[in-house]
């Protein structure tokens, strides 16, 4: 029974494996948040359930921690709901009017708390779905307009989270930009508001809808951390507000900026899911909860990622069947399982200036159609995959010449071109139908097992192009809803096809798109050292099981840095392994070494896909980065370690492992041919493993396997 209503105190208790979440209805009828943290006896928190006033200037202090509230009355904190009724009233007073519990067991129970405005038939249903074993709660808000006229919705958050009073608050989040995504930041929150958001039409590389909050003392391995992630791939907002009375509230949902829309009579709006959780064991504990949740509840498939080859960095737009056949032959020799042709195979796509929108195979590049290549790829035991960017159009394309009115545009303005392209208004039913139709044709006519779905520009001039029309700003919402519907439909029509989310690298990754995408391209930056920090930041919120990483050329184009092949492989083996180098130029020795790494990867990838990840050391703190992946019962692990630069002769370093069985015996062995040794789990975790790293930019892969009698049984 994870959800209990304590009638005598009007108190709701949501219980997960290692956390309690409590709120109730106070004497003023306000739905008040009470507690979130380690399990406690719920009824003993009832003493907190009371309205509080400080002065006429702060007449309703309890509303700063309102479980969900409208903008109305004496409430000034970031609201859950802001609306204007048809008669011009702009005051929302949500009154508690009951609850229902659906489902029966630990995995299926869901609480709906019903609120309604005091005068108007505007109803809000707050939904809470505990994900018991992961200590998470999925929340969302559902609005229903029972009025006989439309209500203008100016802000509707998926959830408001409050964290009980801490002496201090520290926010951890990610920031970045193209080719530099998922950079971690941590900073204290003083009184006021900190907003993380996207106004660009997609999730964006500059921020990601995930937060972690602690009192400033939590570490990777210890301390209390509260966190949440919003499942939305369009404009989003997380507002973290620390009040002068010491409370903190995190409001999250679709961004209200330019986001007002009319909710018609009888209409319903359901917010995206905002999942929140509590971890008592530091940031590592937090990430592992999120990873398991994604693997078990979100990801459409759970199998380890296939080793792929992608020809983008090798050929860019100069795609032709002869070169592709040669690359495919080389890829097969490396043990690649999925061969992917990137941009440049269609229409008049010889550069980024033309062809987007014309999704037919270029006959000059493939005189015998795609089948010649697909046949060869399959004959060599690989699957075939293809790149598409369905939401975009180049002005120089047949599609744009036929449908210039399909793009986002305001009637009196020229549209802004970014990367020489416009964005299609996917909210239009005819555009949605077009995308679904050409994708269906593509996947029906060719033996394609994988689609990399890209989006290479932000939204600008978000209008439908019609003049005078009261263009409701919900174009922002419709784009995302239609995108999700298209992906859902394609997955239903082609269940054997896997999908990758990509947006100029990692600009559209969130728990919304990850319900449809099997894997994610997290950055166009393939420099294996930069990748360590991008990948590390990514894993704070997202699972390594979906994180695609390629081995590319040395020197790498981004920084001009030359890293050894071993380093490039080790860095890329920490997620879904891909190869994106011009392997036509690799020497016999490089080919042989690469094939060996691919072989090792296939032996350990079940740990990447299903294991628990421990971040052992970070380049943010020292010149060593190390990450470990362990299976559920601590029977097997793999460790990747990287030394950035050695100086002053160096001293012997030891790396303490985690997640092993203390009394079990493990064999530890590198992939560099050095002799292995046997130690107890306790020794490996507390005394540590001597790190055999010397030099600059060197790396080590360590395999740890239980070898005692219990393991053999």
> Mind telling me the catalytic residues?
454, 524
Residue from the set 64, 78, 138, 342 that interacts with ligand GLA by CB under 6 A: 342
Q: 144: which 2 tokens?
A: 């229903």
Give yes or no for a cis peptide into 555 (omega within 30° of 0).
yes
Q: Which one, 225 or 520, has the nearer CB to ligand GLA?
A: 520
CB of 354 to ligand GLA, least distance (A): 13
Q: Which one, 340 or 376, has the nearer CB to ligand GLA?
A: 340
Please enumerate in sequence order all residues whose Cβ is within 8 A of that of 404, keeping only pairs 6 or more positions apart, or say none.
none
Per-residue string for binding with ligand GLA, 300-319, x by CB under 6 A? Answer: ------------x-------
Give the number of residues in contact with ligand GLA, rule: CB under 6 A: 11
Longest CA pairwise span in the chain (Å): 80
CB of 580 to ligand GLA, least distance (A): 8
- Residue ranges of alpha helices (H) inside 274-370 are 282-293, 312-315, 321-334
Going by the DSSP 8-state scheme, the letter that residue 307 receives in this structure is P
Q: Among candidates 653, 631, 632, which has minimal Cα distance to 644? A: 653
Structure-token match 């409430």, residue found: 75
CB of 558 to ligand GLA, least distance (A): 13
Contacts to ligand GLA from residues 119-178, by CB under 6 A: none
Residue from the set 456, 501, 535, 628 that interacts with ligand GLA by CB under 6 A: 456
Going by the DSSP 8-state scheme, the letter that residue 414 receives in this structure is P
CB of 380 to ligand GLA, least distance (A): 23
Phi, psi of 667 (to 5 degrees): -95, 130
Structure-token match 């080790």, residue found: 570
Per-residue string for binding with ligand GLA, 545-584, x by CB under 6 A? Answer: ----------------------------------------
CB of 314 to ligand GLA, least distance (A): 12
Q: Which one, 539 or 552, has the nearer CB to ligand GLA?
A: 552
CB of 321 to ligand GLA, least distance (A): 19
Element (H, E) at 595: helix 588-610
Strand partners, 142: 125, 270
| Contact indicator for 261, 473 with CB cutoff of 8 Å | yes
Q: Is 391 in the site for ligand GLA (CB under 6 A)?
A: no
- Please tell me the total number of residues recorded for the chain in this structure: 713
CB of 316 to ligand GLA, least distance (A): 8
Q: 269: which 2 tokens?
A: 């709006």
Q: Which one, 387 or 629, has the nearer CB to ligand GLA?
A: 387
Residue from the set 197, 214, 256, 524 that interacts with ligand GLA by CB under 6 A: 524
Contacts to ligand GLA from residues 343-362, by CB under 6 A: 343
CB of 587 to ligand GLA, least distance (A): 26
How does DSSP assign 572-594, residue by residue? HTTSEEEE-S-GGG--HHHHHHH
Q: Among candidates 378, 135, 450, which has minimal Cα distance to 276? A: 135
Phi, psi of 331 (to 5 degrees): -60, -45
Contacts to ligand GLA from residues 496-515, by CB under 6 A: 502, 504-505
Q: Which one, 456 or 571, has the nearer CB to ligand GLA?
A: 456
User: 3-state SS of 108-171?
Assistant: CCEEEEEEEECCCCEEEEEEEEEEHHHCEEEEEEEEEECCCCCEEEEEEEEEEEEECCCCCCEE
Please identify the residue of the shown chain whose CB is closest to the bound ligand GLA: 343
Contacts to ligand GLA from residues 80-99, by CB under 6 A: none
| Contact indicator for 543, 302 with CB cutoff of 8 Å | no
Q: Which one, 272 or 355, has the nearer CB to ligand GLA?
A: 355
CB of 529 to ligand GLA, least distance (A): 19
Rounded to the nearest angstrom, the gap between the alpha carbon of residue 102 and the centroid of all alpha carbons in its chain is: 28
Residue from the set 36, 387, 586, 629 that interacts with ligand GLA by CB under 6 A: 387
User: Cα(first)–Cα(last) distance of the chain, in Å?
Assistant: 36
Q: Which one, 30 or 525, has the nearer CB to ligand GLA?
A: 525
Q: Is 36 in the site for ligand GLA (CB under 6 A)?
A: no
Q: Which residues of 329-346 are buried (b: 16+ CB within 10 A; e: fewer)?
A: ebbbebbbbbbbbbbbbb
Rounded to the nearest angstrom, the gap between the alpha carbon of residue 114 and the centroid of all alpha carbons in its chain is: 30
Q: Which one, 232 or 521, has the nearer CB to ligand GLA?
A: 521
The three-point CA angle 22-41-26 to 5° equals 40
Going by the DSSP 8-state scheme, the letter that residue 296 receives in this structure is I
Q: Which one, 135 or 343, has the nearer CB to ligand GLA?
A: 343
Q: Which residues of 303-326 are buried (b: 16+ CB within 10 A; e: fewer)?
A: ebbbbbbbbbbbbebebbbebbbe
Q: Which one, 394 or 545, has the nearer CB to ligand GLA?
A: 394
CB of 455 to ligand GLA, least distance (A): 9
Contacts to ligand GLA from residues 661-690, by CB under 6 A: none
Strand partners, 187: 171
Binding site for ligand GLA (CB under 6 A): 312, 342-343, 387, 454, 456, 502, 504-505, 521, 524
């Amino acid at each position: 029974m994870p959800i209990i209503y304590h009638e005598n105190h009007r108190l709701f208790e949501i219980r997960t494996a290692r956390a309690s979440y409590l709120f109730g209805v106070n004497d003023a009828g306000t739905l008040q948040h009470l507690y979130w943290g380690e399990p406690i006896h719920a009824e003993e928190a009832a003493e907190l359930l009371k309205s509080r006033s400080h002065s006429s200037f702060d007449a309703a202090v309890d509303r700063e921690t309102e479980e969900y509230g409208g903008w109305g009355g004496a409430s000034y904190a970031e609201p859950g709901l802001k609306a204007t009724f048809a008669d011009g009233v702009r005051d929302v007073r949500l009154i508690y009017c009951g609850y229902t519990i659906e489902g029966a067991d630990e995995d299926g129970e869901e609480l709906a708390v019903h609120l309604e405005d005091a005068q108007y038939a505007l109803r809000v249903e707050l939904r809470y779905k505990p994900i018991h074993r992961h200590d998470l709660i999925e929340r969302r808000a559902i609005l229903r307009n029972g009025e006989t006229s439309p209500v203008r919705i100016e802000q509707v958050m998926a959830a408001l989270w409050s964290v009980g009073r801490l002496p201090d608050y520290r926010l951890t989040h990610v920031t970045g930009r193209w080719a530099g995504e998922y950079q971690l930041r941590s900073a204290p929150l003083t009184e006021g508001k900190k907003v993380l958001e996207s106004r660009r039409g997609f999730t964006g590389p500059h921020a990601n809808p995930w937060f972690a909050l602690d009192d400033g003392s939590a570490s990777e391995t210890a301390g209390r951390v509260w966190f949440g992630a919003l499942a939305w791939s369009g404009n989003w907002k997380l507002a973290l507000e620390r009040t002068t009375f010491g409370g903190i509230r995190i409001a999250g949902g679709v961004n209200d900026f330019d986001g007002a829309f009319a909710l018609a009579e009888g209409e319903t709006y359901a917010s995206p899911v905002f999942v929140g959780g509590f971890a008592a064991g530091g940031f590592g504990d937090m990430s592992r909860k999120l990873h398991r949740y994604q693997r078990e509840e979100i990801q459409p498939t759970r199998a380890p990622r296939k080793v792929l080859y992608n020809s983008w960095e090798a050929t860019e737009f100069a795609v032709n069947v002869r070169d592709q056949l040669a690359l495919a032959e080389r890829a097969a020799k490396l043990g690649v399982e999925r061969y992917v042709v990137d941009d440049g195979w269609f229409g008049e796509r010889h550069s980024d200036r033309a062809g987007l929108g014309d999704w037919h195979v270029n006959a000059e590049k493939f005189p015998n159609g795609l089948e010649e290549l697909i046949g060869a790829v399959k004959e060599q035991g690989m699957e075939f995959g293809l790149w598409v960017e369905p939401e975009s159009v180049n002005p120089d394309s047949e599609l744009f010449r036929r449908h210039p009115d399909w793009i986002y545009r305001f009637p009196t303005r020229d549209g802004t071109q970014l990367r020489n392209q416009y964005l299609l208004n996917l909210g239009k039913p005819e555009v949605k139908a077009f995308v679904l139709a050409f994708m269906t044709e593509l996947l029906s006519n060719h033996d394609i097992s994988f689609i990399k779905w890209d989006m290479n520009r932000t939204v600008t001039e978000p209008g439908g192009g019609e003049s005078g029309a009261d263009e409701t700003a919900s174009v922002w919402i419709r784009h995302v809803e239609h995108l999700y519907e298209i992906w859902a439909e394609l997955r239903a029509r082609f269940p054997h096809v896997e999908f990758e989310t990509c947006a100029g690298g990692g600009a559209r990754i969130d728990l919304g798109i990850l319900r449809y995408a099997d894997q994610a391209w997290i950055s166009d930056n393939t420099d294996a050292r930069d990748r360590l920090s991008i990948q590390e930041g990514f894993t704070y919120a997202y699972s390594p099981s979906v994180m695609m990483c390629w081995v590319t050329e040395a020197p790498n184009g981004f920084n001009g840095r030359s890293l050894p092949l071993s380093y490039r492989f080790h860095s890329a083996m920490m997620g879904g392994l891909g190869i994106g180098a011009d392997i036509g130029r690799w020497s016999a020795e490089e080919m042989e070494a690469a094939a060996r790494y691919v072989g090792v990867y296939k032996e350990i990838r079940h740990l990447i896909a299903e294991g628990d990840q421990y971040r052992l050391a970070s380049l943010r703190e020292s010149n060593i980065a190390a990450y470990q992946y362990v299976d559920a019962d601590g029977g097997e692990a793999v460790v990747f370690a990287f030394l950035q630069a050695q100086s002053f002769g160096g001293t012997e370093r030891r790396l303490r492992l985690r997640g092993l069985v203390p009394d079990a015996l493990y064999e530890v062995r590198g992939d560099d041919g050095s002799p292995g040794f046997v130690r107890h789990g306790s020794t490996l975790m507390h005394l540590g493993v001597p790190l055999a790293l010397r030099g600059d930019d060197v790396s080590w892969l360590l395999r740890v396997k239980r070898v005692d009698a219990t393991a053999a049984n």
